[in-house]
Amino acid sequence: MVNYLAHENGAFVVENGAFVTEASYDSGGGGDGGDGGGSGPGGSPQTTPTQPPADRAAQAGLTINTTTTVTSTSQINGDANTLHIIDGNSQDPFTWDGPMDLGSIDDTAICGINGASISLPAGFRDRMITVSGGSGFLWSGVDIDQTASGAWGRFNINTSTNGIIEFVRTIGKGRRANPDPSEEPYGATTGATISIPAGSSSGTNHIRNVEFIHGGVFANQHFGDRPIGIFLAGGHSGTLRIERSVFEEFPNNGLYATNTTGEVIVADTRIWNNGVTNGRIARGEFINCVSGFDYTDTGMMNANNPGHAVRGFSVEDKGKGTDVDITNCTVRLVNVANAGGGIVTDDFGDGAGTFDQVTGTDVHIYNAQDVPDVRIEEGSINAITDCTFEGTADSGVSVQNNGPSVTVSNNSFDYPAGRQRYAGPID
């Protein structure tokens, strides 16, 4: 059971032993990948961040014929079978001279060494890099420095398969220059930080060992300031695997992928303090993940605003079907002014979906009266098994089912008297 991802000695740590150090990303292990090599969960190719860029690209399954060291964004292109290296110790500091529009690619890699990073200019909130098609893309070991006022780095990667973003962190907050959500900001206020759909139904893309902490402005209303962590829409028909990563403090959803026919598999990942739903998908699974919100411990501005009913995990059907499992996860809602529930099926105005199995998962509700651990408003959950529900709430219902009957087995409850365990159809 993963309980938290916590900062310890400059690292964010998954309790099952997988971790990534912020300074060097020395260990990208976990799953079946050991120290980062071999195959990880679901057979995904694993790279070793301490290896030279050419070895990383080969481990990622890319064929490289040309290698070049670059010192500015204008030198990065979409040439096939090409490895671009950014050296953090170069005598010529890497410079930003505009977004990188690579077009359609075929085995193109951008790899960093010696603490490489790209510094965004003040007010830049557009897509930092765009790939419009092809297969085989690797962004590895190049951090995004968005400490300049209003800077926000964004990836727009469209590949049929084998698109990879790994060993990356954001430096500095991505909030806009004017933090007042009622005022007109400059630059983009909405959109995805990462969009990386797998365009082929048999294709797989990857996000792994990354830390994206936005620290934006908690919006007055849903149509206010609303950057998203990861967003996938109609172009995603394959699989996206997200492993050993952190997505925090986005004013909108941390992960939003419901208008797709593809699936999203999330493992050993912290999706935390995001302003609507932390993890919201239509197909796939959350495995050993941590989700939730604590209004007293967030870098977002205006976070006490009750405009959003935050949720841990939710499923949504936009007409393309749903099938989601939650396995061995933890959800915490703490000091929450307005929460929709820990695990939720409701329609958000678009259509409710189905969680198939919720298994071995803990939900904790503290200082949030009447907030359900599980809320089935529309849609359904087929089975809730071996779960633990606990906290300080002494009113309301832990499992509120307003949908079809749900099968429950071996669940435990630890709440004060006055909180009802189940309500609605239960088998």
Pairing of strands 19-21, 11-14: antiparallel
Q: What is the pLDDT of residue 369?
A: 80
- Do the beta carbons of residue 251 and residue 275 sit within 8 Å? yes
- Using CA of residue 62, residue 66, residue 68, residue 73, what is the dihedral sign? negative
Residue 344: domain span: 40-423
**Given the structure tokens 């050296």, which residue do they identify?**
87
The verdict on residue 404 lying in a domain is yes
Number of residues written out for the chain: 427
At a CB cut-off of 8 Å and minimum separation 6, what does 217 contact?
175, 176, 179, 180, 181, 224, 225, 251, 300, 301, 302
Region 240-260: mean pLDDT is 95
Average pLDDT across the chain, whole number: 86
- Whether the pLDDT of residue 323 is over 90: the answer is yes
In a domain, residue 123? The reply is yes
Q: What is the pLDDT of residues 169-184, one digit of tens each?
A: 999 988 877 766 556 5
Helix (H) or strand (E) segment spanning residue 26: none
28, pLDDT greater than 50:
no
pLDDT category of residue 295 using cuts at 50, 70 and 90:
confident
**Which residue has tokens 């949030």?**
368
Ranges 30-34, 78-82, 117-121, 291-295: which has the least confidence: 30-34
Cα(102)–Cα(95) distance, rounded to whole angstroms?
Answer: 17
Has residue 285 been placed in a domain? yes
Q: How many domains does the chain have?
A: 1
- Indicate whether 287 belongs to any domain: yes
CA atoms of 48 and 46, how far apart (whole Å): 7
CATH of residue 55: 2.160.20
Place of tokens 């070049």: 68
User: Do the domain assignments include residue 281?
Assistant: yes
| 29: in domain | no
- For residue 66, being part of any structural domain is answered with yes
Tokens 């749900």 belong to residue: 406
pLDDT in tens, 93-144: 899 999 999 999 999 999 999 999 999 999 898 899 999 999 999 999 999 9
Q: Please write the tens of the pLDDT for every residue from 336-359.
A: 877 899 999 976 666 679 999 999
For residue 150, what pLDDT is reported?
86
Report the pLDDT value the prediction gives residue 339, as an integer from 0 to 100.
87
- Report the pLDDT value the prediction gives residue 221, as an integer from 0 to 100: 59
Asked if residue 13 has pLDDT above 50, the reply is: no
Q: Higher model confidence: residue 58 or residue 225? A: 58
13 within some domain: no
Contact 316, 258 (CB under 8 A): yes
pTM of the model: 0.90
